[in-house]
Amino acid sequence: MHFIKSLSAATALYALGYALPTESPSLSGRDVPCDPISKYTTNYFLDHHIYTPPATTCLFYTFGLSATAQRFAHGGGSDMTTIWDIWPCELYNGDDNSGNPLRCIFKDNTMRLTYFENMSRAMAMLCKTFATVMTDDPKNIPQPGIWGRIEEPTLKLTGNPGGQVDTIIAVNTKGDDVQDVWVRPGTKRKTMSIRSTSSENENKALFKRQPNECYNPDQLQKWFGDVEW
């Protein structure tokens, strides 16, 4: 998997509407009302991220590959960034109990899809230089899901808050089949590794959670594996 060192990440799509600054949902365990889906706009996720993906590290994935992508991102000497690395743990809480303000959103397929569409758009807007998508067949990437409808178009935009992505590649689950997806017109295909600097993250935490610190990949796959990624 030598190609991992050359991976990069970029960003795209403008958020719809503005979210007022609010607190993240709590993991307190006490009974709380359900949050409305209207709270979780793309701008909400941009305002509340706690980790900015270093350039070249963004790893997206298609349907059913949540756990596989997480293990790939943090294994084999790679240090890539998935959607599960960027926000506070409570924003990934899929527990169906009265202490989780996200429970109503995650029990409703339409609201859940909107939630992850907005989170995914925000991630794409935070990526820079080079992005990767994991899929079963890199020569034939499924387009109906969040990758094709939200993430890829966003990555191709200019003017995103995280910077600009100029190269997108696809990789299979084993890491031994890599295909070019897109190179921005007028630019060269990016291949070098570009590491994060303090200035890239100056107003955000420089600390990256350890893998599984929030929820392990299998738990997240159980909760959210059927989302139309």
3-state secondary structure 118-170: HHHHHHHHCECEEEEEECCCCCCCCCCCHHHHHHHHHHCCCCECCECEEEEEE
Q: How many distinct structural domains can be found in the chain?
A: 1
Domain extent, residue 118, equals 2-224
Establish if 28 belongs to a structural domain.
yes
Establish if 229 belongs to a structural domain.
no
Per-residue pLDDT of the chain (229 residues; tens, 9 = 90+): 444 434 433 333 333 333 333 445 655 558 999 999 999 999 999 999 999 999 999 999 999 999 999 999 988 657 899 999 999 999 999 999 999 999 999 999 999 999 999 999 999 999 999 999 999 999 999 999 999 999 999 999 999 999 999 999 999 999 999 999 999 999 988 764 423 333 333 334 445 677 667 899 999 999 999 999 8
Establish if 116 belongs to a structural domain.
yes
Establish if 102 belongs to a structural domain.
yes
All residues at 6 or more sequence positions from 221 whose CB lies less than 8 Å from its CB, including other chains: 66, 67
Establish if 77 belongs to a structural domain.
yes
Asked whether 12 and 156 are in contact (CB, 8 A), the reply is yes
